[in-house]
Amino acid sequence: MTTATVSLRDVRMVYGSGPRRVLALDGVTVDFAPASFTAVIGPSGSGKSTLLHCAAGLDRATAGRITIAGIDVGGLDEAGLTRLRRDRIGFVFQEYNLVSSLTAEQNVALPARLAGRRPNPPDVAAALAAVGLAERAGHRPSELSGGEQQRVAIARALFGRPAVVFADEPTGALDSRASRQVLRLLRALVDEHGQTVVMVTHDPAAATVADEVLVLTDGRLLDRLSGLDAESLVARMGAWERTC
């Protein structure tokens, strides 16, 4: 049996207490396999981003067990979590989170520098080449389109050779053409480089690029789907909303 890159077991996340208590995740159990592309969808407030943040070690779950590359996230102190996120996890967010005063190549190398490591220039160049931006290495974010900025963010996420890349609405701020480019790139990372990708999205068309679609509602895993086109997925989502 192939060991999961990321594994969640009966994960619960509670915010607040008393009348303000919110159960954001309600006993979620799921595995993300090596070299797989998983999309997580659901209505607003369903727990999509909470699932990603807990799985990535950005937030500590209230209960349950989470492992990344065989490491028990719950057993780590803050320093250990920082090392895990730095060394084993890549992040791509809707807002590209690039430093405006740095060039593309400097943004890619920044996490390594913050960790006290000297990045190898050929490795930085290779990361940008992998996302089709070798010729834009010296450009600052203001000189790049939104799609190009997101591709720099992906290159940065991949630079440390992470076990998993978590993407939170990576196409949410992009036009349709740039969205397709970013999705093709994420798909290629899985197919050509064996990367594990977990993507939260509200867009059914984006979700169908993945191998599997997880559907969350009210913090629970409602369904796991594969092989649907966007139209069929929208129809299924409409049926869930009518019965939930």
Domain boundaries, the chain: 6-243
- Tell me whether strands 22-32 and 6-15 are parallel, antiparallel or unpaired: antiparallel
Q: pLDDT value at position 238?
A: 67
Q: pLDDT value at position 228?
A: 76
Q: pLDDT value at position 244?
A: 54
Q: What architecture (CATH level 2) is domain 6-243?
A: 3-Layer(aba) Sandwich (3.40)
CB 204 within 8 A of CB 234: yes
> Where do runs of H (alpha helix) occur along the chain?
48-55, 78-88, 104-114, 121-130, 146-159, 176-193, 204-207, 230-243
Residues in the chain: 244
**What are the 10-residue block averages of pLDDT along the chain, 244 residues in total?**
85 92 95 96 91 93 95 93 91 91 96 87 92 94 95 91 93 90 92 94 92 94 85 72 58
CB 213 within 8 A of CB 225: yes
- Give the other-Cβ count within 10 Å of 238's Cβ: 10
